[in-house]
Amino acid sequence: MSVVNELLEYQNVDKKLREIEQEISASEERKKYLQAKKFMESAREKLAAQDKHAAALRALRDDLIRRAEDISKQIAEYADVDEMVEEGGDVLFYKKNAQVLLDRLRAVKGELQKLTADVNAAVEEYERYMKQGSAMQKQYKEYNEKYKELKNSRAAEVQTIGKQLEKLAAAVREKNAGVMEKYIAKRRDGIFPVLVPLTNDRCVCGMDFPLAQQGKLADGNVVECENCHRFVYKA
C-alpha cells in the first residue's frame, strides 16, 4: 500500500475524531464554561481598576471639600463688611471680591454635584459587577462539571479511535516518517482535510499545480500546496 493510501485511511479515521472534537467544541456546556472562565480570569483586573477609580473619586471629593471650606472661610471674613465700610473701606472692592468668592463657591458646588453623580454611577457599576460575578461563579461551577461530563461521555470512543490512529500512523511512519509528523502538525494547526486530491490540475484551494509539481505526485507521493499547505495527491 502506498503512503497516499495509508494516509487516506488514517485521515478517514481521523475524521471521526475531528467530528467528536467539533461537537464538544460547539457544545453549550463548553461555551458556558469558557464564558464563565474568561470572566473569572479578568475579575481581578476589573476589580483593581474599580478600586483605582474609587480612590481617584475620593481624592477629588477631598479636594473639593477643602476648596469649599477655604472659600467659605474667605466669605466669612466679609461678615463685618458694614464696619469695614464705616472705617473707610471701599464698598465696591468688597462687593467685587465677595462676588468672585460666591462664583467660585458655586463652581465648586457644581463640581461636587457632578462628582456625586459619578460616585453613584461607580457604585451602581460595582454592585452590578458583583452581582454578575456571583452568577458567573455559579455558572463556572455548574458548566465546568457539565463540560467534564460531556468529555467523559465520549472518552471511550476517543480512546478507541486514538488506538486505531496510532496503529495507522506507525504504518505510515515506516514508509515516510516526515510526512506523518507534518500531517499531525497541520492537523494541530486546524487544517482539515490535510490530504486532498488534485482536481483539474488544482488543489482544493484553487492553487494551480504546474506540470513539474504534478510529476512529483507519481508513484503515490504527495506534494505540499504552497497556498493552503495541505498535502495534495493524484487520484
**164 falls in which pLDDT band (50, 70, 90)?**
very high
pLDDT confidence band for 52 (50 / 70 / 90): confident
List, edge to edge, every strand of the sheet that includes 223-224: 195-197, 231-233, 223-224
Which residues, 6+ apart, have CB-to-CB distance to 56 below 8 Å? none
Report the C-alpha gap between 232 and 183 in whole angstroms: 12
Compute the distance between CA of residue 192 and CA of residue 177 in angstroms, rounded to an integer. 19
Say if CB 115 and CB 60 are below 8 A apart: yes
Query: Does the structure show a pLDDT above 80 at 220?
Result: no
Output the pLDDT for position 135: 94
pLDDT class of 137 with cuts at 50, 70, 90: very high
- Where in the chain are the domains? 13-176
Mean pLDDT of the chain: 87
DSSP 152-221: HHHHHHHHHHHHHHHHHHHHHHHHHHHHHHHHHHHHHTT--SSEEE-BTTB-TT--B--HHHHHTTGGG-
pLDDT tops 80 at residue 86: no
For the cut 90, the answer to whether the pLDDT of residue 7 exceeds it is yes
Architecture category of domain 13-176 in CATH? Orthogonal Bundle (1.10)
Partners of residue 58 on adjacent β-strands: none
Kindly state the average pLDDT of the residues 26-47. Answer: 91
pLDDT digits (tens, 9 = 90+) for 184-194: 999 999 999 99
pLDDT, position 181: 96
